[in-house]
Amino acid sequence: MQMCPQCSRDNLDPARFCGACGEPLQGLLGVNTLLQSRYRVTKVLGCGGMGAVYYTLDTRLGNRPVAVKENLDTSPQAQAQFQREALILAQLRHPNLPAVSDHFVESGGRQYLVMDYVEGESLETMVQRQGPLPETQVLAWIGQVLNALDYLHSQSPPVIHRDIKPGNIGVYAAGYSHHRTQPGPPRQPHTHPTANAHPSGRWRPVGVRHRPRWFHGDLHHPTRRHRAAPAHAQQRL
């Protein structure tokens, strides 16, 4: 069986489109797939051309929710890069980054990264739902994103976020404090930003999201990524 990337409904393996919503299928895992005799996959959180992220229960730790990222590229080069990235990300510890706790390879060559899960929504989704946000709130969040980027760039070698955008900034309910990280090799790693709590706000971005995606082309200097953040802040106002 394979889940639909849009509605998470199970479909037969030969199916090309979801029988419930009509979405094209991508050969994802089925509902209740058990990885490493430990991680029980329950639904799809997100899916792209090179990978997927699943809401998963850690059965060894009382069904604790975790986010499991799947790399769909099984080429030797992609697998080697994914493993390098996992080792780097596992060393990151920051209030705005989700912690990586496990990495493994299943039969067929697909690789998986286990990370902290925090319930919330992307800044992009929030703006689509609410419209422009208050300036003071946006500035507070962007400051937290820059703080996370500064931490990433201070690593040796630097971890460079190459995809800063509202869809990669997670906003989580007040009261949460969490770490988040994302895969990227020593010279090309990238993460997805989220920020930390602000005492005056009901919502706060928490952690930098990471997606199982591979980089192509020239690397970006860290200062260029810092300059991207204000542009996205202006877009949210």
pLDDT in tens, 111-144: 999 998 878 788 888 899 999 988 988 888 888 8
163 is an active site residue: yes
Helices (H), the chain: 76-89, 123-130, 135-153, 222-236
Q: Are residues 105 and 155 in the same domain?
A: no
Q: Helix 135-153 crosses helix 222-236 at what angle (to 10 degrees)? A: 170
Q: Are residues 125 and 55 in the same domain?
A: no
Residue with tokens 């430990």: 38
pLDDT in tens, 49-93: 778 999 999 999 999 999 999 988 888 888 888 888 888 888 888
Q: Is the pTM of this model over 0.85?
A: no
* CATH number of the domain where residue 81 is located: 3.30.200.20
Catalytic residue, from 102, 116, 163, 218: name it: 163
Q: Are residues 181 and 160 in the same domain?
A: yes
The residue from 93, 116, 139 where one domain ends is 116
- Greatest CA span in the chain, whole angstroms? 51
Instruction: Give the structural domain span for 224.
Output: 120-236
